[in-house]
Structure 1
Amino acid sequence: MAKILYSATMSLDGFIAGPGGDMSWLTEHLGPNPPIDEVIGKIGALLVGNRTFRGDDPHKGVPDKEGKPFGGGWSGPQFVLTHHAPATPVPGVTFVADLDSGVAAAKAAAGDKYVNVLGAEVARQCLDAGVLDEILVCVAPVMLGDGVRLFDHPGGTNVKLERVSLTHAPGATNLWLRVV
């Protein structure tokens, strides 16, 4: 059965995107990261937030990478949570209106692989719904000062996590956690 994994690259001060959703900061931190490359091969489907799907791309202007998940390192079914699906279909993308149907569809498509969550708001919703299994954070050596936080839940409760692994790559420290 598929597990739900939230993965993101985060600045040391806790941001996954800069102000206004700017992802250009990430471009210089997209170097080789063997543990992440291994995880990408274990992803069966994506569950993506609308803001992430329509947002900025750290691969902007890079042929064969722009607009593709993980810069073209992954392909497969994507499920985008939105109340405003585009009129024109997008190949490989299914638009879903609610979290429950999105999670069910993504898990069915992923089989025994991971459903990878892209987007802080969807990750927060998955955590609140009790369906988030694991979190993989690549901590980049930079501080952004403002932007979109990895998790933002004012007034939220403590969430117990258990470390699965801690690995290092040339441009990041990877912290893999299990939601207890």
Structure 2
Amino acid sequence: MAKMLYSVSMSLDGFIAGAGGDMSWLADFTGPDPTIANLIGDVGSLLVGRNTYDGDDPNKGTEGEGEAFGGGWSGQQFVLTHRIPENSPPDIHFVDDFETAVAKSKAAAGEKYVNILGADVARQCVAAGLVDEVLVFLVPVLIGDGVRLFDHPGGTSIRLERLSVSEGPESTNLWFRVVR
């Protein structure tokens, strides 16, 4: 059965996107990373928020622009949205119901990970008790404003157990299991 993984690059001050969804801050840090290279083969599908799907691309102007993991991964993507377009690219499925999007992404992933992309979708998955693991690529930059890794008004406590810490060429990679 598929595991749900929230993987994300994050600035040292806790932001995964800059103000207005700006991802240009990440462009200088998108070089090869063994953790990402190993992860790509373990991802069976993506569960993506619409803001992330439509958002700014840190690979803008490169061969990997518009592609998951900068073009290093291909497969079924499930975009959770209230705005379903009439047409969609192959392997991109727009779904307007959270439970359906999760079920379809898990079925498509098989025994691999469903990789969650987008803060709001990740928050919904955490609230539903669905996230199994969290992988944060901690990037040595301060951006000061934007979209936080995890935002829960009023606060909450989600206990995590460290699985590994590794050094990439541009980040410190922190992998956790969600304690249930």
1:2 match: 2
SS at 1:75 equivalent: coil
| Corresponding residue for residue 17 of structure 1 | 17
| Residue 35 (structure 1) shift | 1.3
Partner of 1:157: 156
Does residue 31 (structure 1) correspond to residue 31 (structure 2)? The answer is yes
State the match for 1:137 in structure 2. Answer: 136
The question of 1:79 aligning with 2:78 is answered yes
Return the offset for 1:156. 2.6
* TM-score, structure 1 normalization: 0.98
Q: Distance in 2 between matches of 1:14 and 1:142?
A: 10
Distance 1:149 1:48 in 2: 16
2:165 match: secondary structure? strand
Amino acid at match of 1:166: V
Amino acid in structure 2 at the alignment position of 1:142: V
Aligned to 1:88: 87
- Residues 25-174 of structure 1: matches in 2 within 5 Å? 25-63=25-63, 65-174=64-173
Q: Which amino acid aligns with 2:21?
A: G
The whole-number CA distance in structure 2 between the counterparts of 1:78 and 1:6 is 14
CA deviation profile, 1:146-166 (whole Å, cap 9, x unmatched) = 001010111131111100100
* 4+ runs deviating over 4 angstroms: none
Helix, strand or coil for the counterpart of 1:91? coil
Name the CA distance, whole Å, in 2 between partners of 1:159 and 1:32. Answer: 31
Deviation readout 1:100-141 (Å, 9 max, x if unpaired)? 111100000000000000000000000000011100000000
SS at match of 2:56: coil
Separation in 2 of the partners of 1:90 and 1:169?
A: 32
> Structure 1 residues 87-96 or 13-22, which shifts more?
87-96
What is the aligned length? 179
The 2-side partners of 1:89 and 1:147 are apart by 29
Secondary structure class of the residue paired with 1:9: strand
Q: Deviations over 1:38-73 (max 9, x none)?
A: 01110000000000000101111113x111000100
Q: TM-score, normalised by structure 2?
A: 0.98
In the alignment, structure 1 segments of 5+ residues that lack a partner are: none
RMSD, aligned CA: 0.7
Shift of residue 36, structure 1, vs aligned partner: 1.6
